[in-house]
Structure 1
Amino acid sequence: MAGCSLPSGNTGGSINSPGDVIIGGTFQVHSKRVDQDQHFTSKPTELQCQIFAIEFYQTMRALIFAVEEINADTEILPNVTLGFQALDSCNTLRRAAQGTLSMLSGGKEAIPNYHCHDGTPFAGIVGDSGSTRSILMAQILGLYRYPQISYFSTSPVLTNRNLFPSFFRTIPSDEFQMKGLAQLIDHFGWSWLGILAIDGEYGQFGLQLVKQEIINSGACVAFAETILTSQPDRNAPHLINIIKKSTAKVVIVIASDTDFVVVVEKLLRQNVSGHIWVASEAWATSDLLSEERFKGILLGSIGFAIFHGKMPRFGKYFNSLNPSKDVSDPFITEFWEQTFACTWPSEKNQVIVMDNATISPCAGNEMLYVQPSEEDQRLSLNVYTAVYAIAWALHNLLYCKPGTGPFYLGGCANISSFQPWQLLHYIKNVNFKTRDGRQIFFDSAGNPPAVYDIVNWQVGARGMLEQVTVGSYEFNGSSGKSFNIDSAKILWFNNNTQIPPSQCSPSCPSGYRKVIVPGKPPCCYECARCPQGQISNQTDAAECQPCSWDTWPNLQQDRCLPRPTEFLSYEQPLGYSLAFSSVFLGLTPLVILGIFVCNNKTPIVRANNYSLSCLLLLSLFLCFLCSLGFIGYPQPEKCLLRQVAFGMVFALCISCVLAKTITVVIAFNATKPGSRLRKWTGVKVSYCVIGFCIFVQLCVCGIWLILSPPFSELDAETKPGIIIINCNEGSATAFWCMLGYLGFLASISFIVAFLARCLPDSFNEAKLITFSMLAFLSVWVSFIPAYLSARGMYTVAMEVFAILSSSWAVVGCIFVPKCYIVLFRPNMNSREHLLGKSRIQN
């Protein structure tokens, strides 16, 4: 055996206790080592460990407490005594490997492939605290299928069952933690943040996982820097420079407290404050960082912590420790010195003087009242749970019934001589309840149920930083993510209760959308107003949503409102003004007709065809009234008939004017000697002209109504935000043909009247008709561009105005002068006066 042994080496301090089954444990009791230069000319010196870590000493004691509690419990492993071997790995791979091989060998020397426990079976190891050390240990233990249950190793690499077939843990994998951290960032609305991570397995895998989750949630990473554990200053000057230059106010830190504290010291010296630090579970409840001097930097920090659980009797057990009773514990003297700020004197020196201060010697009879708090018990609870997992697996192995066992032919293992792979089977299938009611089991990758506390760093009564539980995060396959936070309990830096923002760009309010700036991260955007007709009813909207056709955005463009409708209504000032004008002006032809009927015997009334004048006045009355068809709600029947009615009555009106003009020309030429036009001086020619002109217009309108009739429509495109209710003319060609035909008739009347304006006749109306047609044509020529440029109800108003103006032009130019003579100059309304005037003209 001696020929197979490795050189003996000191595996560090350890605590041992015999038993029927041995459980091993590795703990980082000391957090720092002293490295010395190696010249390879002599045997390397042993590692010197420094900085006693009370928190990890408590975890070691939690293993001892759990073993003693199980040995005293008659319900689990009755008549079987558990022993333990707990050692200090001193935060080094070398000590972790030496300790693992030593425990497997069963003696002080590490002898690979040999077991010297003198028949006492070795169940497995609880440890280690660091992922890097656990990976090394798992590679060794996996070769022999010895179960390993870590209480603080969170690297996702360890879930690979091909590489680490016998690894388990009572702390969730970083895969769950990093998803939770990204969800925490999203919960508080932080979209611009930095990440600091140590350069080990824990930090780099965590950095990649959380970075990807953050990007997937829509946030951006301003910087991702590494804390270099190989450098004494941890690369702190560079990190501080990056933090100061960045606009990100939230920084996720994936590191241990011993590494991050170097960065915090540098932050403190440079007075860099005002940041929110998001903690991974490795430092979320650190005593090292909870000192009063750090509160200006770390106050308001928030992060994930190991589930706190309860160990009711552990505090009493821990306070019962005493150097005089626990003589087998090599660490208790250091614990005593650090707790009571004393030192154990040598035989010669009873008082120690250090840095001009007197330190009292330790007496050993001091009253220990450490009472681990709820926060301090988090890691201890994980160790406690790991020991119970092994104990329950051994219990199930102990009570296996032959014939129903899990091994060959239903066989069972013997508690006094089981193989490690046999116990590994029971570890995989263990399922039990802790004393505080939690259900513990391991999934196929060796992970427990993923449960975290969310803690917030606040100032306690003693001025120290304390971690207050403000929520929880739970992840499981059946219900998915469960994330709860009591925001009212959270205090940020400066004791502010409002969530501090951390954004590259200010939030875009409702009514705006984000516009990505080329060359910059997606979170560094600009805000642009939503396009016309679209809204956004949430902050930081990526796209605006269009309103439906019958709604339109409000002024803020954050909601859609029903579009107002528009048509030329009787209730509007323009509508009732035009309606009043139509009725009032429509009475004028009737009044004139009444005057003509009362004075139908007078020469000026009878001249130029009395019956045509009456018909023209009636047509003008209809022209005024047809404008009312354009006012009011555009119903389908009204749309169908209003343009046709307008075209027909105006055709009647202009044809009457044309007939009167032709009558004047015929009458003058018929008075010449030998003229053959005498037989055409009757009313038949006039009515034939009128009938023909109306027939042509009737044909145009009939074809229009048959092929493409007008209809009522809702126009949501012409005027933004308004639905115009109007009449679609159906065929624009038919409409302009109808209107063009009226213009053609008016032009013929104007030309004929203009040529006959100087005929020597006292009753000659040619001049009056010339002016009336000139005014008529002027109105409708002006109407065309105005009609084409107007929108909505003003299009209709323009046509009504043109109808009224052109109709009044005919009335004013032809009939008003005659009424003036009839009513106010009766002496001019005599045959003698007209004949006298005729002679003068001759």
Structure 2
Amino acid sequence: MVFAIKEINETPDFLPNITLGFQIFDSCLSEIKAVRGTVELLSGKRGPVPGYRCPTRPLLAGIIGETLSSLTIPMARIMGVLHYPQISHSATISTLSDKLQFPSFLRTIPANTFQNMALAQLIGHFGWTWVGMITSDDDVGLQGGQQVKKLIEENGGCVAFLERIHSRYSMEKVLGVLEVIREHPVQVVIIHSAASQAKVLLEALYTRNVTGKTWVLSAYFGISPGMYAHEAWKIFNGTLGLKPYANVISGFEEFLYGLHPNTFPDDIFIKHFWEKAFKCQWLEDNAVITIDPEALGTKSMYCSGNESLNEKAISLFELNDMSFTYQCYLAVHAFGQAMHTLVSCTSAQGPFSNGTCADINDVRQWQILHYLRNQHFTTRSGHEIFFDENGDAPATFNIVNIQISQEDEFQVINVGKIDHKATEGKEVTITMSSILWSGGSSEVPRAVCSDACPPGHRKAARVGEPVCCYDCVPCSQGEISNGTDAVTCLKCPGMQWPNEKHDKCVDKLIDFLSYEDPLGIILAISASFVTLLNVSILCVFIKYRNTAIVKASNRGLSYFLLLSLMLCFLCSFIFIGHPRKLTCMLRQTVFGVIFSISVSSVLAKTIIVVIAFKATNPNSSARKYLGSKTPTCIVFFCSLVQVLICTIWIMTSPPFPEMNLKSYNEKIIFECNEGDAIFFYCMLGYLGLLATVSFIVAFLSRNLPGSFNEAKLITFSMLVFVSVWISFIPAYLSTRGKYMVAVEVFAILCSSAGLLGCIFFPKCYIILIKPDRNSRQYMVGKKHGDNNKL
């Protein structure tokens, strides 16, 4: 303050013909003394008279101070009533920003609101989520502590303990707080308190060797190693702290080095300071200095005046921490700038009514306050200063790191900055390589209750524990989390599904029975093989069409059955491949019609066998049904019913391709929706009815005599057919996607192959392997003299 006033007074063309002075009152950390000193300054008398101002005294431009918020509040209430400006360089409590209660209060230091935000941002920057907190047992500490706790919890962290401390606490209460710190596993502890309140606790922590903790100091805490006894300040090695932004004060160190009792004879502090600094005493008469030889080497040695401050400047003046010093420097310059603007006012351009200016010979305190509120200037170091509508200065903090060397050299190193005017996400800038942590480590301390949940997991709270203590639970099916410490997992859209790690959604696989699929390839090869086999049998029957066994098996009906079976094999290809509108409409309908033709042909063959045995008597009426019309009519009318069913199906509710998102979570089934399922089951039911009738007729006629009897072969073929399709129903209903289609194709191939094999393989065997049996005589039993009747 003295330096800033001296700097202003020695600046040419600044406050011409006006000299700034100062008067100092010591509050001794007492609210009563702070109030008394304030009233004395306002009244101008040692015997304070409230509301009175001694006119013979110099003009009181305003007050700088107090340091503690608890002392500043009563002062600011008095100053506000009388409209005297007050600028604090250290009081941070946010209550003072209320201009209804404190209309004349301003400050160069940011309010607690910004400091608390800065503390929470600093904790979050290092990823600390599990911290302890010590607050002073006063309004600033309690209010600030609760706000910091709330901000930390909003960022996903938590405060493991919050203990209060005060300089007036008994040692028993102090030791209780100490035990909480000692016993708790938390590695990072915030101290939101003035240094004077935490002094006893910190000294006790040092003497009881409570080490290994990383301390984080609020801007409220003044870093002053000289105030601690027993070298207890060593406990701060590796500590991080917030400090109000401070810049270099040009010429200030030279000013400090030049302090001397002879240079400032009227300064009441310098002699006492000199004696404390050099452990010596000034003689009453400073003109002649004598030294008592017996006192040499003792505390009572006399000061010579030749002692040098240069070697002790850093330790004496604590030049490592210039934060509050700089704020006081700014406060003095703010008053100086306000007074300069006041005296520089041009008539008719003033800020008051009718453009008037304040009269320096009769200036009012509210006029000075007006100029102060509207100040916006830049210091010599380039620091921009102004006051907002709440009387608060720009919120910028230095991040400092306390480093103590092995030689006990105490250093406060600037390692970063928190600027609330910066763009979002860039408020905190830190040079990590410059930080030395507790114990001399270069690694950031770990302060978490639970490790961060990786992507693909979410946090699950532990019952009865703080929010930052949790378990990591994998995301459920269909959900992802793409960041660490996710509170909830997000569902993937309908067309997407989580990857294996559940950290992102990927497009679902579109699944259908394709020709590239191994299952599709096997079915296609099988269908091709049995089709070729069918064609081969048809060729054999055509080549040997005039032989007895071909004629006896109703040649025309056999050709028709072979052709229909070949179409049955070929229709399986419609089921393989990309579902399209046309193929979906043809799949079941073509299959149903062709199969009904095949089964109708088998039924016709069975009925013809029965009629043939009934018509052995020349006078039998059944002989008229032995012509080609009977099997044709049977096949036509039996197939016609199926054709009608399928036609109505296509006209009213035709099958169509669709994306099935429900059957499988991880893939999309591209399939044919059968439309109205009633028609599908009617089609299958009718096929079953035809097969059942054929089976019954063939079964009843299986014991008819003679080699012409095909009933046994048809009975066995129908048994195979019915068994396949009865097994098909549960298999079809229990599968989804391409496997459902594969089951149907398999049933088509197996049932068709069963008919082909059971009915035609024995005949081909005789035709190709046993041609001697392929004669009418053998078939009617005459070859070996058999006289059996037909």
What's the TM-score bracket when you normalise by the shorter of the two chains? over 0.9
Task: Encode CA deviations 1:227-258: one digit per residue, 9 max, x unaligned.
Answer: 12322539321222222343433222111222
Q: How far off is 1:644 after superposition?
A: 1.5
CA distance in 2, matches of 1:161, 1:783: 86
Partner of 1:366: 307
CA distance in 2, matches of 1:613, 1:765: 12
Partner of 2:634: 689
1:79-90 equivalences under 5 Å are: 79-90=17-28
CA distance in 2, matches of 1:555, 1:481: 34
* Correspondent of 1:797 among 739, 742, 747: 742
Q: How far off is 1:289 after superposition?
A: 7.5
1:201-600 equivalences under 5 Å are: 201-233=139-171, 235-283=173-221, 285-288=223-226, 293=231, 297-342=235-280, 361-369=302-310, 370=313, 375-460=320-405, 462-475=407-420, 482-600=427-545
Q: What residue identity is the alignment partner of 1:383? A: C
Partner of 2:122: 184
Distance 1:836-1:115 versus aligned 2 partners, 3 A rule: closer
Farther off after superposition, 476-485 or 164-173: 476-485
Q: What residue identity is the alignment partner of 2:201? A: V
Distance 1:531-1:683 versus aligned 2 partners, 3 A rule: same
Farther off after superposition, 448-457 or 515-524: 515-524
Distance 1:705-1:146 versus aligned 2 partners, 3 A rule: same
Task: Encode CA deviations 1:605-649: one digit per residue, 9 max, x unaligned.
Answer: 111311111111111111111112222222322222122221111
Partner of 1:25: none
SS at match of 2:91: coil
Partner of 2:717: 772
**TM-score, reference length from structure 2:** 0.93
Q: How far off is 1:182 after superposition?
A: 1.7
More strand per residue: 1 or 2? 1
Partner of 1:710: 655
**TM-score, reference length from structure 1:** 0.87
CA distance in 1, matches of 2:443, 2:612: 99
Farther off after superposition, 743-752 or 327-336: 327-336
Partner of 2:287: none
Partner of 2:31: 93
CA distance in 2, matches of 1:445, 1:454: 25
Q: How far off is 1:663 after superposition?
A: 0.4
Distance 1:688-1:294 versus aligned 2 partners, 3 A rule: farther
CA distance in 1, matches of 2:345, 2:621: 141
Q: How far off is 1:375 after superposition?
A: 3.3
Q: What residue identity is the alignment partner of 2:307? A: E
* Correspondent of 1:839 among 778, 781, 787: 787
Q: What residue identity is the alignment partner of 2:740? A: T
1:131 aligns with 2:69: yes
Distance 1:833-1:166 versus aligned 2 partners, 3 A rule: closer
CA distance in 1, matches of 2:343, 2:116: 39
Q: How far off is 1:660 after superposition?
A: 0.5
CA distance in 2, matches of 1:403, 1:825: 136
Q: How far off is 1:410 after superposition?
A: 4.1
CA distance in 1, matches of 2:407, 2:397: 27
Partner of 1:26: none
Q: How far off is 1:835 after superposition?
A: 2.5
Distance 1:830-1:424 versus aligned 2 partners, 3 A rule: closer
CA distance in 1, matches of 2:749, 2:127: 65
1:168-183 equivalences under 5 Å are: 168-183=106-121
Q: What residue identity is the alignment partner of 2:268? A: P
Q: How far off is 1:116 after superposition?
A: 3.5
Distance 1:727-1:341 versus aligned 2 partners, 3 A rule: farther
Partner of 1:781: 726
Q: How far off is 1:188 after superposition?
A: 2.2
Farther off after superposition, 602-611 or 468-477: 468-477
CA distance in 2, matches of 1:89, 1:312: 30
* Correspondent of 1:760 among 692, 695, 705: 705
SS at match of 1:531: coil
Q: How far off is 1:834 after superposition?
A: 2.3
Q: How far off is 1:693 after superposition?
A: 0.9
Q: What residue identity is the alignment partner of 1:180? A: A
Distance 1:408-1:625 versus aligned 2 partners, 3 A rule: closer
Partner of 1:822: 767
Farther off after superposition, 723-732 or 109-118: 109-118
Distance 1:560-1:481 versus aligned 2 partners, 3 A rule: closer
CA distance in 2, matches of 1:351, 1:118: 51
Q: How far off is 1:712 after superposition?
A: 1.6
Q: What residue identity is the alignment partner of 1:782? A: S
1:90-169 equivalences under 5 Å are: 90-116=28-54, 118-169=56-107
Farther off after superposition, 342-351 or 808-817: 342-351
Partner of 1:733: 678
Task: Encode CA deviations 1:343-396: one digit per residue, 9 max, x unaligned.
Answer: 558999765699xx8775533320111155653332222222212221222222
Asked whether the equivalents of residues 279 and 299 of structure 2 are also in contact (C-alpha less than 8 Å), the reply is no
Q: How far off is 1:592 after superposition?
A: 1.6
Task: Encode CA deviations 1:269-315: one digit per residue, 9 max, x unaligned.
Answer: 33333333221113263334799955764333222102111211111
CA distance in 2, matches of 1:762, 1:426: 129
Asked whether the equivalents of residues 305 and 455 of structure 1 are also in contact (C-alpha less than 8 Å), the reply is yes
Distance 1:611-1:291 versus aligned 2 partners, 3 A rule: farther
Identity of aligned pairs, percent? Answer: 44
CA distance in 2, matches of 1:830, 1:174: 116
CA distance in 2, matches of 1:387, 1:695: 110
1:625 aligns with 2:570: yes
Q: How far off is 1:402 after superposition?
A: 3.9
Distance 1:288-1:554 versus aligned 2 partners, 3 A rule: farther
Q: How far off is 1:78 after superposition?
A: 0.8
CA distance in 2, matches of 1:113, 1:802: 109
1:677 aligns with 2:648: no
Distance 1:96-1:704 versus aligned 2 partners, 3 A rule: same
Distance 1:292-1:728 versus aligned 2 partners, 3 A rule: farther
Asked whether the equivalents of residues 192 and 220 of structure 1 are also in contact (C-alpha less than 8 Å), the reply is yes
CA distance in 2, matches of 1:221, 1:183: 14
SS at match of 1:382: helix
Asked whether the equivalents of residues 215 and 239 of structure 2 are also in contact (C-alpha less than 8 Å), the reply is yes
Task: Encode CA deviations 1:40-79: one digit per residue, 9 max, x unaligned.
Answer: xxxxxxxxxxxxxxxxxxxxxxx22222222211221111
Any stretches of 5+ residues in structure 1 without a counterpart?
1-62
Structure 1 vs Structure 2 CA RMSD: 2.7
Q: What residue identity is the alignment partner of 1:840? A: N
Task: Encode CA deviations 1:524-561: one digit per residue, 9 max, x unaligned.
Answer: 32221111011111101112122222322111111122
Aligned residues: 778
